[in-house]
Structure 1
Amino acid sequence: MTEMIQQVCSRFQTAQGRQKSYADRRRLDLEFQVRDTVLLKVSPWKGVICFRKRGKLGPRFIGPFKVINRVGKVAYRMDHLEKLSQIDTTFHVLQLQQYIADESTVIPLEEIQVDDRLNYIKRPVVILDKKTKDLRKKRVELMKVQW
Structure 2
Amino acid sequence: MTFQIDENALLKVSPMKGVMRFGKKDKLSPKYIGPFEILEYVGPVTYRFALPPNLSGVHPVCHVSMFKKYHSDGDYIIKWYSVVLDKDLQYEEEPIAILDHDVRKLRTRQIKSMKVQ
Ranked by relative contact order (alpha carbons within 8 Å, sequence separation 6 or more), the top structure is: 2
Q: Which residue of 1 aligns with 2:54?
A: 83
Aligned length: 76
Aligned partners of 1:102, 1:31: CA distance in 2, in Å?
21
More strand by share: 2
Q: Is the Cα contact below 8 Å between 2:13 and 2:22 reproduced in 1?
A: no
Where do 4+ consecutive residues of structure 1 move more than 3 Å?
none
Where does structure 2 lack aligned partners over 5 or more consecutive residues? 76-95, 98-117
1:88-103 to structure 2, matched below 5 A, reads 88-102=59-73
Calculate the aligned-residue CA RMSD, in Å. 2.4
Q: Which residue of 1 aligns with 2:89?
A: none
**Partner secondary structure for residue 39 of structure 2:** strand
Q: CA deviation at 1:48?
A: 2.4
Q: Which residue of 2 aligns with 1:59?
A: 30
TM-score after normalising by structure 1: 0.46
TM-score after normalising by structure 2: 0.56
Aligned partners of 1:101, 1:47: CA distance in 2, in Å?
29
Letter in 2 for 1:49: F
Aligned partners of 2:45, 2:58: CA distance in 1, in Å?
18
